[in-house]
Every structure is written in C-alpha cells, then in structure tokens.
Amino acid sequence: MHNRETLHQKSGKADFELIYDLEDPREYFNVLGQFGYCIPQHGYRVFSALIEARRKAGSEGFGNGRPRVVDVCCSYGVNGALLKYETSLDELYARYRSEELANLSSEELAEVDAAFYRERRREAAPEVVGVDVASNAVSYGVRSGVLDAGFAENLEENEPTEALARAVSSADLLTVTGGVGYISERTFERLIDCAVEGSGGRVPWVAAFALRWVSFERISEVLSGYGLVTEKLDGHTFTQRRFTGDVEREYVLEELAEMDVDSTGKEDTGWYHADFYLARPANEANVPLEMLLAL
Ligand SMILES: C[S@@+](CC[C@H](N)C(=O)[O-])C[C@H]1O[C@@H](n2cnc3c(N)ncnc32)[C@H](O)[C@@H]1O
C-alpha cells in the first residue's frame, strides 16, 4: 500500500499537483481530460442515489431540510457542480476546453460560470461545503457558485478553524473522489468531530471512492469509533482515469500483483480502477448497499 507521494516518486506519474491550485479550472479539465478522468461522473451517480434514498426515508433519512454534503478534496468543486446543477462531466470538459472561454480572464470566467450554473440549478440541489488544501481552487468554487462554502485547510496537519467547524456541523454526507491517499483517517476524524457537533448525536454517512491499491482500512477503523459500519461495494469497480504511460501502468500492475489483487479486465486494460466505500451508522444500514445504488 502506498500513499500518493510514494507513487509520484517511484512511478514518474504526471505531476498533477501543478493543476490543482490554479486561478480557474480550465487547465485542470484540459490535462485530466487527456487521461479520461471520470471518477466525478461515477461519484455523481452514486452520491445522488444515496441522497435520493435518504430523502425518501423521510425523517429517518436526511429529514426535510436541504441535505448538507461536505466534499473533501473538492478542488474547483466538480462534485458540487454535478450534484447541484443540470450538467455532466462531459459537458464540463467541453465547456472548460472550449475556444469560446479560452481567452477570458479567470475573473471573467467566474462571472460567466456563475450565470451558467445559476440557470441549471437542480430542484433538489443539496448544500455543498468544499474542503481542499488548494486555496485558489476552493476560492474559484465559491465564486462560481458550485460550492456554497469552501475552506482551504489541511486537516492532516491542523485542527479545523471555527468557521470550517460551523459550516460542517450537522453535515449529512461526506464525499470523496480522487482524494483518499492524499487524506488519511486524520482528516475524516476531524471532519466527523465537526459534523456531530450540534447534530443531536447524528453521525454523517461517508461515501468515498479509493483506488484499489490504496488502503481504506485505517479510515474504516476510525469511522467505527463513531459507530459507522463501512462496506465496500461488491462486484463493481469504477474507472478513474487512464494511465499516463507504460511506466505508470507497469508500476501499478506490479503493486496490485503484490497485493494479490487481480487486475484482469481492469487495470490491465490501461485504467486505474477505484472501489467504492460507504460508512453508515449500524442502525441505518438496513438497506443493502447494492440495492441503495441499484447499479
Ligand atoms: C485528484 S484531485 C481530486 C479533485 C476532485 N475531488 C475531483 O475528483 O475532481 C485531488 C485533490 O486533493 C487535494 N488535496 C491534497 N492533499 C489534501 C489535503 N491534505 N486535504 C485536502 N485536500 C487535499 C488536492 O489539492 C486536489 O484538489
């Protein structure tokens, strides 16, 4: 098992860090689009199914209010955009890579984006609070409206600020795409501490995608301390992106082989695959995960 830093150093993986904290998301979409990065679209399907199931559960679910989603490693707010607005990842790729928007300044783009999203608001849009270390990206997410609130904080290293704690209080759902490995159980612990504050004892659900070779064990151990039971979705993995080249591919295939994970038909086709984990309070885990998601 490896964290991302190790992967970077050992595999010569493209340095995506460079695109994580720019003034606007155009380069993020441009670069990740070249590798078919698609986990946020899978995230949308899964997270919206969970939100819908919880909505249907009425007072035993999220209650009557607008569900509060905390998207961890939110970047420019892609998951927020998909959950709150009638759009798709493909449409966002086309938008941010279009010639029409290429010459706008970041400020102009934020204004145009705010208008674009305003017109597409989903009727049942959740409230989305974003957390990421990348301050420019978070700021863009807030300015364009895809994040209702955003915090550039590193909870691996620091306690949350009071403002973050307030915004996360009583959260219903924590979501993560492309972030496990960058964040460990420490970030989850700090966020759940904030979420249960003022919630009358309710603990949020945690919905996370993690690459198959990144361990979720320590995270689920910590979540169990809050009474959350973690399940890994059986029989289904999700494509994340294509490998950047042979070096990365060989490295990942070797690592998976060492872990006794069969990459046939998955990573050996040239794609990273992620598992999906859902953690729920034991007394709310009556509907099987597979049925909740109906994939
Ligand atoms: C692969 S991107 C995923 C972004 C987004 N969730 C998506 O799927 O498009 C990883 C993100 O993790 C963020 N990140 C790295 N370390 C972090 C930390 N300690 N706390 C919060 N975010 C972090 C990076 O800034 C980056 O935005």
Q: How far is the CA of 20 from the centre of ligand 1 (A)?
A: 7
Q: Which CATH code of 1.10.760.10, 3.40.430.10, 3.40.50.150, 3.40.50.970 fits the domain covering 4-293?
A: 3.40.50.150
Enter the tokens of residue 215: 């361990």
Q: Backbone phi, then psi, for 236, in 5-degree steps? A: -150, 130
Strand pairing class (271-281; 228-232): antiparallel
- pTM given for the model: 0.95
Helix (H) / strand (E) element for 96: namely helix 89-96
Q: Is the CB of 77 under 6 A from ligand 1?
A: no
Question: 239: CA distance to ligand 1 center in Å?
Answer: 18
The rounded Å distance from CA 59 to ligand 1 centre is 33
Spatial CA neighbour of 277 closest among 226, 225, 238: 238
- Please state, in angstroms and rounded to a whole number, the distance separating the CA atoms of residues 95 and 268: 31
Q: How do the pLDDT tens digits run along the chain, 295 residues long?
A: 433 433 343 444 556 999 999 999 999 999 999 999 999 999 999 999 999 988 887 767 776 689 999 999 999 999 999 999 999 999 999 999 999 999 999 999 999 999 999 999 999 999 999 999 999 999 999 999 999 999 999 999 999 999 999 999 999 999 999 999 999 999 999 999 999 998 888 999 999 999 999 999 999 999 999 999 999 999 999 999 999 999 999 999 999 999 999 999 999 999 999 999 999 999 999 899 999 998 7
pLDDT attached to residue 198? 86
Domain locations in the chain as residue ranges: 4-293
Atom 13 (ligand 1) nearest CA: 73
User: What pLDDT, on the 0 to 100 scale, is given for residue 64?
Assistant: 66
State the distance from the centre of ligand 1 to the C-alpha of 57, rounded, in angstroms: 31
Contact 207, 1 (CB under 8 A): no
Atom 15 of ligand 1: nearest residue by CA position: 182
